[in-house]
Structure formats: structure tokens, C-alpha cells
Structure 1
Amino acid sequence: MYRRFDTTVNKHHIYVDGSQNPLVLPCLFSRYTELQGIKVEIKSYKNRDTNQKEDEFKHTEIGSDASYKICNHLGRFLEWVDSYDESYYVKLSTHTALPQEIINEYINDYLIVECRSSEHVARQAVNALCAYYNWLMYFFDNKYKAIYIKSTHREIARNNNRQEKAVKYLLPQNRQLFYQNTDSLLEELVLRCGGDLGLRTKENQGLLLNDYKANTKVHKGLLNLFNDLELHPNKEEFEYHLSSLYTKYSRSRTLYIPRYLLDKFKLYYDTERPQSDSNHIFVSSSSNNSFGQCISKRFGTDTFAKIRNRLLKEMDDHPERFEGYQEIQLVHVYHHLRHSFGTDIFYNLCRSENKSYESITTTSSVYLTTAVRLGHKVDARSANDVTKEYIHSCGLREKLLRESANEY
């Protein structure tokens, strides 16, 4: 998908797919917004006759700067949708009918958490997508979409305003702090899946007990790998195929589970996991309707936030106990466990190949191997930005290790 601001002929943003076919509705919206300088808003009022709250459409005049930002943010959103090109429902051809949960995932999980966008940028994106989906509702009778910054992400967005203070890399000893302060083996394992396997929080749902078939090939489930633990006592790493059903971009990949972690999986299965018919190893033990069902995709995010807040209080109350540890910040989120895992892989591959991490390019085997391990799209246009992030994080890693050593 491509976008550009046509200043000569159309005088507005143009959006086309990979085959250079125009995306008709986004282009029409852009023409309406940028040439007429109007956006559609929904205003609520109280009907005096019925005493009920009612909604009505309102056309609001906006300036050229505001209309440009709206259409530019719409283009960014469409590019994100296009990155799901292998998903059966999140794609450009169906973007007008996407459920609001997917749109809010873009605002909260992608912009705020992954891109570390500021609250100001996130609000601009909300304004843009509200303008677009309200326009679709007004002219084409589409369903209303409630688009917003979630309460759980507001503080993260505010902290993103000070990006120079945000550290995406967590030292191994800090990751251990998180694991040690969990309330259950389930919570510990879900966090370890981020820090020791590089899983996204949603991908924790992809750890299955039974063998399964994909593309005519049978892949081992965890129960089979538990048998391998006994059959191969000297084996230190076990391969697990993560199905594309549970990954971003619908790209399957191989996980390399260390023996100590697979041992913990088995311990959880034998001692803590509730009785359940679910094929997922991680199931809820809550006493509500979700008992025995697969954990939610937010379980990792929520668990990390709980432990982070607990550690922040402990560090404030007893700073002497945490000498030599990296500072934990409110802006830290579950995704930083995964980023730390990727940084360690990137750094160690550089060392094993006797290369400077500052010299790595997107065509290097170091970058490509790291991308495969993490399930990144190596052909994405943002590949160079991802590489720069890892290079920056490698430098940060060395700095944090030096500072940690000096405090002892």
C-alpha cells in the first residue's frame, strides 16, 4: 500500500494498493476532507421531549493543517492494515468493516506501545480515524466505531512524551526481578515467554499441548516435548513450531525453548494448571466465567503492569535492596521483554560473527536471523528503523551493564 500528497492535480492525499489500484473510499474521504475543509462529528444531546440522550451528525469546518494531519494519519493506519495482508479479515479490502477492537489495537498496542508515540500523536490518530469512520457512517451507513485511548494506556502515552528517558532494554537481572515477583507459576511463565522466547503477549495463546498439523506437516505439541525431556536428558534446546494462527502478520516461526523453561512448563502443567479440556497450556484459574479457558491476549500486558507497579513501590520504599539494578520506569511494558530478548540475540550474533553491531545492515545475516527468530517482516519498509533500534539498544545494553557493575 502506498500514499502520497498530490499537490499538483488532485490537491489531496491519494492511497493505492500494492497493484497501484486506488483505494476508492479513502481517496473520496481525503477529497471531501482536504478540499472542502470539513469533518463529520457525532454530537450527543438530551432530547427535552423524551428526556433521552440522542446523537446527531455535525459538520465541522477545519483548517488545511488539520485536514492534512487527518489524511496523513489515515494513511499510516492503512499501511498498518496492509501489514496484515495474510490475515483472513484484517486487510485493505475489508478495512471499512473492521471491528473497533482492531482499530483500537492500532491506537493502543501499535502506536502507543510498539511505536512509543506520544499522547499528542495518539490523540491525533484517534481524531483522524474517528473522522474517517464517522464519514463512512454518515454517507454509507456503516456501523459506529468507538475509537479511543484505553485507560490502561494513557499513562504509557504520557510517559512517551519523554522518549529520551524511556529505556526499552531490560537487563537480564531486571527481567529476573519481574519473574521472581509474580504471584503464580502461570504469571512467571507468561513473562518468561516474552523475555526468554521473544513472544508477543497474544502469542502466548499459541503454545498448544497436542500435536497439530499445518501445511501437511505434523508439529509437536508441548506434551510430546515433555516426553522428549526424559528421552533426551542431555538436550538443552527443544524446537516448537508457533502456528501462524497466533502470530502477527500470520507468519509461523520456530521457537527454541531452553530446557530449564520447558521443565517449568511441565511443572506448571503437572501442579498448577486447572483441569481443562483446552488445548492451550496457559489457561485461566480465575473464579469467573473464564476459568479453564485460554488466557486472554492481554494477560501478559496486565501481569507485567502489575509486577512493574509493585517493583516501583518496593524500589521507592527500599532503595538499598536494589543497588546494582537498572532503574525500572513506569513506561516499561510487556513488549520491552520481547525487545530485550531480540537485542540479546542481535548482540550475541554480532559477537559470534566478530562483527561490530554498528556495522549491521538489513541484508546482514545477523539482522535476518534476528528477524526470523522474532517473526519480523524482513521485507517491510521499516526494516532499517528496526535495525537502528537494535543497534541503539546494543549500545544501551553495554552502558547499562557498565553502570550496573560500577554500583557494586
Structure 2
Amino acid sequence: MDLLRFTTAGSVDDGKSTLIGRLLYDSKSIFEDQLEAVEQSSKKRGDEEVNLALLTDGLKAEREQGITIDVAYRYFATPKRKFIIADTPGHIQYTRNMVTGASTADLAIILIDARKGVIEQTKRHSFIANLLRIQHVVVAVNKMDLVDYSEERFNEIVEEFEELASRLGNIVNIKAIPISALRGDNVVDTSENTPWYQGGSLLYHLENVYVGGVENHVEARFPVQWVIRPHSNEWHDFRGFAGRVAGGVFKPGDEVLALPSGFKSTVKSIHSADGELAEAFAPQSVSITLTDEIDISRGDMIVKPNNPPHSTQDLEAMVCWFGDTPMAARGKYIIRHTEQETKAMVQSLDYQVDVNTFHKLDEVETLKMNDIGRIKVRTAKALHVDSYSKNRHTGSFILIDPQTNATVAAGMII
């Protein structure tokens, strides 16, 4: 069974948490004691019906305010597919949380209130989904029960969103579905209330959408996490390089190049928890042995000589600022890229993006929490990078404040 990671996005009170609760409830993916706890909480709160949003909104502040604050991950499966859901907040002050939750997603569900249509937060979340190269988007037009399941209103919103998406470059597959998360219309089962809608339910689409091609299986990348040297008689001479394949395919007999040393060797064998493998590809975690004794340590990268990554100390990237303290001009930070860590300095801020209008703000001098902008970074030693558009793993990084050890930014290399 394959795995689909998806995220929800939308404005405040558009029904993201309720939708996920409905998905879990109607697909029989919650335990009886969980349902009983939610029913009791709903009664205490004075809700007229069982509040399915409480299945994901677990923080006390979330339940008190009826909003999502932190990213909540939920797992469920059907006979066709396994799913990991990231329920992300809609408030503008939690933009960084949405970036975090959506960074590993293959698909985004963007909820739109049928009464309000496309609003500023719809534009913001669409921009972020585009920035993170989420190519598959489901436009879930929610609360159709409050507009009498109007086909005309649904078509208006879809047309408005498609015009918005035409200004973005990475969203290639848009599926629009009229739903009511509260009533369950077109969430797990198709609804009789929308006879004019001929498509499948949301769950049907999630089970059948093809999201292949997310991983880069062309350019071979293997960041080394650890060198395995077991001190045992059985594995006396074993020296393996453990890590997670970030791109391409490795097979025994392949010629490889070690970075940054530049030494070449040949793959001798590939090991996993299940034994030896004939090949390894992203995103498998394996241990690779080489025919030659080469000095390779944590942070180095094993690649193929015909398509190596770009080794550079100068990076241009789009970043979302996470830190409470604004980005300092020529500020010094620690950069963590794959398994490598080194010192870095922000050389310049090219522009900030107004995520509501997509305009570039050139006169801005710094980035504050939740701001998104383009920066230039200089690192103390060369990093082996790809553009984020080619490889999510080798094209992304985080910046860390050396004083507090807090993550202050997430970056996507251009």
C-alpha cells in the first residue's frame, strides 16, 4: 500500500478540523473511547452536535477559542491507501506552522467557505502551497448546506480559484469538490444533495489521485548520517555508510563520487533492516558499503559522477521567518542542510513577498515572524545543494540562532 501525505489549509472557521474529524469518523478510523471523549467534551461545551473538530484540536487554547494553533498530525488507512494528515492553522500569525506542516505534503486540501468565496487567506495558502511545490490541490468548497447546495455558487468559486491558480506556476492538478464537513456531504460518500455534481467524494479522490514523481529518481543523492563499524566477529571488516536516499537510484556496481573529497569508488553492497538489497531509492533508509577505503563521515554526500549537485558557499533562497526576533542585517546563524551543519551569514534581503497580493516589497529591510522573502546567504564551507524545484531534500535548509538554538527560518534554495 502506498502512502499519501496531505495537508489542510483555509481561513479561520472554514472547517478544516471538522473536515478531518468527519473523514476519520465516517471512514471508521477512530476508536470508541476517542468518540466517547469527544462526545463528552462536546456536551460540556454546550455544542448542539458532536464537535468532530475536537479530534484534531487537542490543545486547551485551541478548544477554548475554537481555532487551530499548532500543526496536528493524524494517521488513518483505507483498504486502498495509507494517509498522514497535517491539520494546519489558518490564522496569519501561524503562517510558519502552515509552512512546517505542508513541507512534506504531496497534496493540499484548500477549504473555501461557500458563503465567503476566495478571500485573502485563500490566496496566502495557495501561494505557500505553490512555494512548497505541492502540485496537487483539492478545492473543497465547504458549508454548501448554508448556500442551499447551489451549483451556481460552487461554479463561481471554482472559476475564481482557477483564475488565482493561473498566476502560480507549480499547481498543476486542481480538483474541486462541493462538501459539507458538518453534514458529511461528499466527504466519504457522495451526497444526494448535490445531484448536479458528477465527481467522486473527497475520500475517493484521496484514494485514487496519482502523486508519482514527487521524489527525484534521476539525480543520485545520499547524505551520510552515520558510519557503521560494528565490533563483532561476524561483521569484523564491515564499514557502511548509513543514511536516507535523497534522490536517484543506487545499485551494487555503480560508480560513485564522495563529496567534498572528490574521491571515486564503486558500490559494493546495500543493506537495510530486511537484509541486502538489489537497489536503493528515495526515500529508503539504508547502509551502503564501497569497494575502496575512503574517508567519509557524517555530513558528506555520496553521489554519481555524471550528475553531481552544485557545491557552493553562496545560496539564494526563499525563506519563511520563524523567529520571534526579526532577521538581522548581516546576521550570523547556523545553517543545517541535509546532515551538514556550518556557520552562515545573511548577506542581503532582496525582497519580501506580500502573500495576499503576490507583490514583491523591495523597500523592506528585515523579515519578521511569518514573513516570506528572498535572501542571499554565505556559508562558512561549501554545501552540496540542488534547487528546491529539483529535490526537496537537498534543496531545503533551516537557520538556527546560535545563542538560543531555536530554529529561526526555513529556506528553499533557488
**TM-score range with shorter-chain normalisation?**
under 0.3
Question: Structure 2 length normalisation: TM-score?
Answer: 0.23
Question: Structure 1 length normalisation: TM-score?
Answer: 0.24
